[in-house]
Every structure is written in C-alpha cells, then in structure tokens.
C-alpha cells in the first residue's frame, strides 16, 4: 500500500516539475512568431535569393567564374561598332550583349562568392528566402532582358560582321595581279 501511494506521488511530482517550466514561460514574452503571417527579421548579412540588375551587367563573366558549383551560365555577343549599349549606372561603357544569364538556384549554395568580384555590383543577395517550387527546373532563373528574337538578331548581326571582316582581310592579303610594263 505504501509503495502504491509512493508511485502516485512520484508521478505527480514529475508532472509538477515539468509544469513548473511551462508556467514560467506563460508569463514571459513569447520567442516564437506566427509564421508565415509574421516574418522573422533577417540578420543584416543574411544570404537569400540572388538578383541581377541587367541594366548594370557588362557580361564580364567574373561572377560565373567565381561560383564554386557552376550554377551561373552566361553567354554574350560582342556589340557591333554601330551599336550603342549605353553605360552602367556607374558610368562603365557596355560592349557586350548578354544573351544568356541563368542562375540555377537548385544548385546554388548561397555562398555569395559571385557577389564580391562583380565590378558593377549588379549581382546581390535579396531578402527573398521563400521561393520553393514543385519542379526543380523552375528554380533555374533567367535574368536576360532581351527577347529570343533579339538574341538571334544580335548573334546573326555579329556573325555577318565577322564574315565581312574576314572577307575584307582575305581580299587585302590576296596577291595583286602583275602590272604591265612598257618596253
Ligand atoms: S551564391 Fe555561391 S553557389 Fe550561388 S550562384 Fe553565387 S557563387 Fe554560385
Ligand atoms: S560579375 Fe557582374 S557585371 Fe560581370 S557578368 Fe556577373 S553580374 Fe554581370
């Protein structure tokens, strides 16, 4: 009988010890938030989804070369002498059409190594951290602003320009016909 009541007391005591912690936290400010209605305040240097401001991108490829997992794909086409691509917001002259700028966030490890070498500071981390997708391919973002037809046009124009230049060079290098001399 004595052991029976001792077990009841032991059980009650264990519950009371646990409840002591619960009661203590009942009267303290809560540390949890009602996510997703409330969003946590991110630390100053939090690493989230990248963004590329294509108006300032000069297509130098430095971000892509710095990426340890090769998740940035860039393709460019040289501008023709007659093209005017304008300047970046920092006054750097643009000389390349960026025809492809993809970042595959399914591979990205958010190391931020692509951000530091950018000479125009146009690739940077944003505050967006909720961008899950059902399909892995949907995480491959394209930042290019040219339309597919504009991209084809730039490629064709440059190919024609190169062909004309090569033809002119070949014509200049060809041996000239011998001149007739009067005897
Ligand atoms: S954050 Fe890191 S892994 Fe992601 S694109 Fe930049 S360099 Fe590559
Ligand atoms: S380093 Fe900057 S300017 Fe160069 S390609 Fe990358 S985003 Fe564009």
Nearest residue by C-alpha to atom 2 in ligand 1: 111
**What was the pLDDT predicted at 15?**
92
Q: How far is the CA of 104 from the centre of ligand 1 (A)?
A: 9
Q: How far apart are CA 103 and CA 71, in angstroms?
A: 6
Q: How far apart are CA 110 and CA 62, in angstroms?
A: 17
Tens digit of pLDDT for each residue in 117-163? Answer: 999 999 999 999 999 999 999 999 999 999 999 999 999 999 999 99
Cβ–ligand 2 distance for 74 under 6 Å, the answer: yes
What b/e sequence results for 98-123 when a residue is b if at least 16 CB atoms lie within 10 Å of its CB, and e otherwise? bbebbbbbeebeeeeebbeebebebb
**What was the pLDDT predicted at 70?**
97
Whole-model pTM? 0.81
> In the chain, what are the domain boundaries?
50-169
Low-confidence spans in the chain with pLDDT less than 50? 183
Cβ–ligand 2 distance for 63 under 6 Å, the answer: yes
Domain 50-169, classified CATH 3.40.50.720, yes or no: no
Nearest ligand to the C-alpha atom of residue 50:
1
Q: How far is the CA of 100 from the centre of ligand 1 (A)?
A: 17
Cβ–ligand 1 distance for 114 under 6 Å, the answer: yes
Element (DSSP H or E) covering residue 98:
strand 96-104
């Amino acid at each position: 009988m004595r052991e029976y009541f001792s077990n009841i007391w032991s059980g009650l005591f264990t519950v009371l010890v646990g409840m002591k912690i619960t009661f203590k936290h009942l009267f303290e400010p809560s540390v949890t938030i009602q996510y997703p209605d409330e969003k946590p305040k991110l630390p100053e240097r939090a690493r989230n989804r990248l963004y590329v401001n294509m108006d300032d991108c000069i297509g130098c490829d430095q971000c892509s070369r710095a990426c340890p997992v090769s998740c940035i794909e860039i393709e460019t086409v040289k501008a023709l002498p007659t093209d005017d691509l304008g300047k970046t917001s920092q006054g750097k002259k643009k000389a390349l059409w960026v025809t492809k700028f993809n970042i595959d966030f399914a591979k990205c490890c958010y190391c931020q190594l692509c951000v530091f070498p950018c000479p125009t500071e146009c690739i940077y981390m944003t505050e967006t951290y909720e961008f899950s997708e059902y399909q892995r391919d949907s995480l491959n973002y394209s930042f290019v602003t040219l339309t597919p037809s504009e991209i084809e046009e730039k490629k064709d124009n440059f190919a024609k320009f190169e062909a004309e230049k090569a033809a002119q060079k070949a014509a200049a290098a060809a041996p000239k016909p011998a001149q007739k001399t009067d005897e």
